[in-house]
């Protein structure tokens, strides 16, 4: 399943933008962007893990105080994202850790607190929970609680998430909602190889703790032209992937492919769908979604994570608050079921394209 390179805003920057020894401030990164509406200029076709790998190579190359570590990263990682890093940067900058997520996170906090970029990998998002205390109570609050005497903004936690076809309970989870509830964290989810590279570099250089969820389904399957230079994509900036007038759809990560297919089907039945990639879940680009809903009058949110308490609920509540009079129909959520992620029943659990199409129609015909 190849993805066409028909993208919107990808910045084509040949060089780094004012990366200070401290960190680029979030606002200066955004200011230096220019949306390139023509799409990406050149680049080889790469899959997701290769694009991420490129980003990591660039991150380590451009900052001698950047480190990559986690379980099994040395030999290239269970998903090949860290291939070639040890050979190029050495065992002191790229190293395996013992099998202990709370240790990985705690170590990362300390390393980042000393001004380094700590790029930690949690092997599967399903295993992130032992690190939850370090992430929520320590990393997220490090700057605030110290009155900005200290910060661990250099921390980026990368972790594969989401359905993979056969992952069951513990290789398929989408735990993003837990982290979206934590002031002080940023949560970023890319949808494609070129997006992933730019977003990951932005995350690594952002002076705040970031969790970067990588859709594992797309590691091999998604292939796209990815520019080989150093570029970043802005955080907290959503992208309209597809313009439309009848209904706004919001999603992130691998689910966008499913939603795109649903949009194509709906289009054939005369429904014009506007599809938005949120990219950053917190802090999220409310304005972009509101502008869209004010245009279409309808909203549908879709994610793999269980519907109850999922991040779709936040988007729905916020849009209802701010766009109530414009709404023509209730906000629809097409999400995972409220069950642990099942194996044999995976096709039933997932928010499929037809579930989305049905919901689009129901919303439009409300």
Site for other proteins, rule CB under 8 A:
23, 25-27, 65, 92, 95, 97-98, 100, 102-103, 105-116, 118, 130, 133-134, 137-138, 141-151, 153, 183-184, 186, 207-208, 236, 283, 286-287
Nearer to other proteins, 164 or 187 (CB): 187
**CA angle, residues 185, 187, 190, in degrees to nearest 5:** 160
In the complex with other proteins, which residue's Cβ is closer, 88 or 166? 88
Residue 214 known to be catalytic: no
Task: Identify the CA nearest to 22 among candidates 56, 58, 65.
Answer: 65
* Cα 290 from Cα 314, distance rounded (Å): 13
Nearer to other proteins, 102 or 352 (CB): 102
The least distance separating other proteins from the CB of residue 114, rounded to whole angstroms, comes to 4
- With beta carbons less than 8 A apart as the criterion, state whether 308 and 336 touch: no
Q: How far apart are CA 280 and CA 303, in angstroms?
A: 14
**Residue tagged active-site, from 71, 101, 121, 138:** 101
Closest distance to other proteins from the beta carbon of 94 (Å): 13
Rounded to a whole number of angstroms, the minimum distance from the CB of residue 208 to other proteins is 5
- Residue 101 annotated in active site: yes
Nearer to other proteins, 3 or 315 (CB): 315
Residue among 57, 71, 138, 171 flagged as catalytic = 171
Minimum distance from CB of 319 to other proteins (Å)?
14
- Residues 60, 149: Cα–Cα separation, whole Å: 26
Closest CA to 170 of 178, 179, 161: 161
H helix runs in the chain, sequence order: 26-31, 48-62, 85-89, 101-113, 132-133, 142-145, 176-180, 193-205, 218-221, 255-268, 286-296, 311-323, 346-349, 353-364
Give the active site residues.
Answer: 101, 171
């Amino acid at each position: 399943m190849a993805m066409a390179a028909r993208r919107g805003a990808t910045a084509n920057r040949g060089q780094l933008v004012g990366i200070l020894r401290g960190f680029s401030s979030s606002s200066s990164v955004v200011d230096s962007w220019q949306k390139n509406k023509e799409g990406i200029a050149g680049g080889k076709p790469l899959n997701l893990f290769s694009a991420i790998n490129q980003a990591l190579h660039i991150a380590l190359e451009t900052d001698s105080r950047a480190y990559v570590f986690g379980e099994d990263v040395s030999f290239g990682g269970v998903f090949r994202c860290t291939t070639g890093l040890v050979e190029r940067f050495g065992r002191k900058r790229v190293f395996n850790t013992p099998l202990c997520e709370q240790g990985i996170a705690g170590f990362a906090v300390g390393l980042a607190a000393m001004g380094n970029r700590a790029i930690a990998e949690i092997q599967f998002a399903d295993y992130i929970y032992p690190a939850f205390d370090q992430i929520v109570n320590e990393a997220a609050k490090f700057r605030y609680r110290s009155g900005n005497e200290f910060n661990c903004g250099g921390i980026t936690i990368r972790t594969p998430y989401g359905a993979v076809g056969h992952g069951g309970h513990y290789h398929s989870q989408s735990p993003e909602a837990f982290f979206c509830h934590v002031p002080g964290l940023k949560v970023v989810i890319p949808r494609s190889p070129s997006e992933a590279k730019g977003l990951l570099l932005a995350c690594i250089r952002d002076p705040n703790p970031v969790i970067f969820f990588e859709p594992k389904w797309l590691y091999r399957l998604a292939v796209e032209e990815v520019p080989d230079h150093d570029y970043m994509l802005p955080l907290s900036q959503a992208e309209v992937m597809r313009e439309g007038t009848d209904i706004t759809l919001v999603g992130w990560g691998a689910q966008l492919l499913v939603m795109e297919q649903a949009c194509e089907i709906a289009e054939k039945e005369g429904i014009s769908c506007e599809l938005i990639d949120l990219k950053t879940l917190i802090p999220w680009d409310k304005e972009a979604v509101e502008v869209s809903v004010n245009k279409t009058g309808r909203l549908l949110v879709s994610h793999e994570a269980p519907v109850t308490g999922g991040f779709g609920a936040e988007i729905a509540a916020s849009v209802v608050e701010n766009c109530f009079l414009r709404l023509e129909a209730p906000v629809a959520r097409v999400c995972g079921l409220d069950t642990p992620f099942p194996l044999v029943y995976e096709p039933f659990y997932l928010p499929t394209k037809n579930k989305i199409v049905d919901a689009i129609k129901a919303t439009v015909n409300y």
